[in-house]
Structure 1
Amino acid sequence: MKRTALIAVAAVAAIGLTACSSGSGNAGGSSPASKQLNIYAWADEIPKSVIAAFEKETGITVTVDTFDANETMISKLAAGGSGYDIVEPSQYAVQQLVGQELVQKLDHSKITGLDNLAAKFADPSYDKGNEYSVPWIWGTTGLAYNTKCTGGKELTSWDALWDPAYKGKIYMLDNMLSAYIPALQVNGLKATSTSEKDIAKATQSLLDQKPLLAGYNSSNYADLLASGDACVAESYGGSAIAKVVADNPDVKFVIPKEGGTLWVDGFSIAKDAPHADAAYKWLNFTLEPKIAAMATDDGGSASANEAAKKEITDKASLDSVAVYPSAEQLKNSEFIVDPGKALTFFQQGWTKVKAS
């Protein structure tokens, strides 16, 4: 999955504000008992089983609309009157939503289960103290390759994406900030750097790499690796690549030694949520270990809930680096956060790369 989320991170101001979704239901106000909950989330990240279980337990009817980019979600909230109660921002988008005062500061006295979160999500850099978001699922950005194509050689570094031996069979993610992750880290720089000099160096690396590429691809690169049409690809961890790795022993997924990155999608309550009480019930429900485990068993994603691991029945996922990499494998990984004013440097560089 993902991450179209990272495209034009702070460009939401330039996106036309969209009208209220037809699925937003009762935007006008909340009944005392709030029997409605309107959610705006990433497609396929909340399993239907979770929705059904919540409705059965609470009697609350859930409406889910989906988006394919954080910027779309932010624009919808910024337009006002969206009618949404719960939104599912990625980590950097939480920062933007808070900056634009589009989500509520959470009342922790109304939330139970935060202590079930894994340590790296209990006090994340992008939302200290989980003041505005409750992490739901997470994943990584790493390296995938086909060992038949590499002659059995194991790849451990982003360097492989610049190796002439794989010319014409290298794919990079078709996403600005995602592409800059290996371009920065291969130069010994932080993926979170906002230095103009660092970004310029990474841009040059992407320009040097361009003649080696088969293309930029964020959709079916896993299938191309499985068929051997791709040798090596920058890849998002998660259900898509995990399935290919499980089905095809020639395909491997690794967190490169330079670190790769982490992403996390979580739940926040919209500033003008018409059913805030139902929204808190949702947060508490999804923090229950048995419910959080459904994110893996039914959704194929890693849960941010540490206590959920004991409830997961798909034990193979727990051993898959594509879904649940170990702490050791993640030791050099960082969260990609909002680059702020440095976004301009990324955009200028990306324009040069795409035009070359």
Structure 2
Amino acid sequence: MKTKALLAAGLAAVTLLSLSACGSSGGSASSDTDTGTLAIYAWAGEIPDAVINGFEKETGIKVTVDTFDSNETMISKLAAGNSGYDVVEPSQYAVQLMVQRNLLEKIDHAKLKGFGNLAAKFKNPSFDPGNQYSLPWAWGTTGILYNESCTGAPVTGWSDMWNAKYKGKIYMLDNMLSAYIAGLQVLGLKATTTSKSDIAKATDKMLAQKPLLAGYNSDNYADLVGSGDACIAEAYSGSVSAKAVAANPKVHYVIPSEGGTLWTDSFSIVQGTDNESGAYKWLNYTLRPAVAAELTDDAQLASVNTAAMAKVKDQSLVKNAAIYAPAADLTKSEFIIDPGKAMTYFQDGWTRIRAS
């Protein structure tokens, strides 16, 4: 299962990326009429087999799915031309970059059925006003995973990750922009800031934190928190954190009181697709509540479809905060978007932090 470590890692590299052709896992795809093949390029693990099988049975359209490991791999493939894909699944900042490169078709909302099923926070998002180029599918958060047996008390915010009481048992994500989310928000600054001054203040705050850390870890932090070898860790929502919460009643996932962040992966139609009709059939199929619920049951990911939550067969997944963070906790959460030229400020600060 992919984590948003990949999303944020790609974001951190975006201004340095030299777009070149990269092969997908299944090679170049092809598509023809809407009664033939629909070629999709997506994150691994985010389109359950049940969704594909149901769509094929209903429409008679054969679906081929190739997977990518980062938004940059996906963008490179499309930018090289003649990718053969009809539908892709970019994360929020990737939608911005792909629109700039004219890689996506504008969505005709008159052809959509079920758009009203989407939660309000995914309609008219900052990265794609009016959902002109993207239709959200999966979402998640960046927050805190902690073991109350170790902390001795509930953890509520990023400030707990600067608490000397937990020295040597704190992990930050091993990812530049993910780490800066905490460094900025703990100071009351926006995670989406592009201010050189704000980023410098966060850098100083993170330098002060470093002696307290056990390390930077984007791999097995959930296992370490679950076992008590770590008290507290910056974490991504999704199946890894959800399993840790389900396995140990003392392990909790929370959105920090200072805000936290949101991510979303969306379906978009590729510019110049040969199967536009099939692409719209796919979009409309995934807007159905029963179909969207399969994302949660089969992939342990949160669906953007509000009506889908009642359709999830295993309702314990809906109640797991590491999958569906409570709406009340998301009021200050922000979508991480492309920081543009400010990326150099983050990179310079991160180099200082890691070298200290």
User: Normalising by the residue count of structure 1, what TM-score does the alignment of the two structures yield?
Assistant: 0.95
Alignment partner, residue 2 of structure 1: 4
Q: Map residues 103-122 of structure 1 onto 2, 5 A cutoff.
A: 103-122=104-123
Pairing 1:129–2:130 present: yes
Alignment partner, residue 256 of structure 2: 256
CA–CA distance in structure 1, aligned partners of residues 34 and 259 of structure 2: 47
Alignment partner, residue 87 of structure 2: 86
Asked if structure 2 preserves the Cα contact closer than 8 Å seen for 1:12 and 1:71, the reply is: no
CA–CA distance in structure 2, aligned partners of residues 45 and 54 of structure 1: 15
Identity, % of aligned positions: 59
Asked if structure 2 preserves the Cα contact closer than 8 Å seen for 1:18 and 1:76, the reply is: yes
By how many angstroms is 1:13 displaced?
A: 5.8
Asked if structure 1 preserves the Cα contact closer than 8 Å seen for 2:107 and 2:133, the reply is: yes
Q: Map residues 1-356 of structure 1 onto 2, 5 A cutoff.
A: 1-9=3-11, 11=14, 14-21=17-24, 23-24=26-27, 26-27=29-30, 30-151=31-152, 153-356=153-356
Q: 1:109 to 1:351 in 2, by over 3 A?
A: same
| Higher mean C-alpha deviation, range 8-17 or range 324-333 | 8-17
Q: 1:32 to 1:150 in 2, by over 3 A?
A: closer
CA–CA distance in structure 2, aligned partners of residues 341 and 299 of structure 1: 35
CA–CA distance in structure 2, aligned partners of residues 21 and 68 of structure 1: 9
* Offset from partner CA, 1:154-198 (integer Å, 9 cap, x none): 110101211222122111111111111000001110111110000
* Offset from partner CA, 1:127-159 (integer Å, 9 cap, x none): 1111100000111111111111112x1110101
* Offset from partner CA, 1:267-298 (integer Å, 9 cap, x none): 01111323222111110110111100101111
The amino acid of 1:7's aligned partner reads A
Q: 1:177 to 1:245 in 2, by over 3 A?
A: same
By how many angstroms is 1:25 displaced?
A: 5.0
CA–CA distance in structure 1, aligned partners of residues 29 and 154 of structure 2: 54
Asked if structure 1 preserves the Cα contact closer than 8 Å seen for 2:143 and 2:255, the reply is: yes
State the 4+ residue runs in structure 1 displaced beyond 6 angstroms. Answer: none
Asked if structure 2 preserves the Cα contact closer than 8 Å seen for 1:24 and 1:83, the reply is: no
Asked if structure 1 preserves the Cα contact closer than 8 Å seen for 2:245 and 2:252, the reply is: yes
Please tell me the root mean square deviation across aligned C-alpha atoms, in Å.
Answer: 1.6
Aligned pairs, how many? 353
Q: Secondary structure at the match of 2:291?
A: helix
By how many angstroms is 1:12 displaced?
A: 5.7
By how many angstroms is 1:20 displaced?
A: 4.4
The amino acid of 2:20's aligned partner reads L
Asked if structure 2 preserves the Cα contact closer than 8 Å seen for 1:147 and 1:251, the reply is: yes
CA–CA distance in structure 2, aligned partners of residues 182 and 307 of structure 1: 32
Q: 1:228 to 1:61 in 2, by over 3 A?
A: same
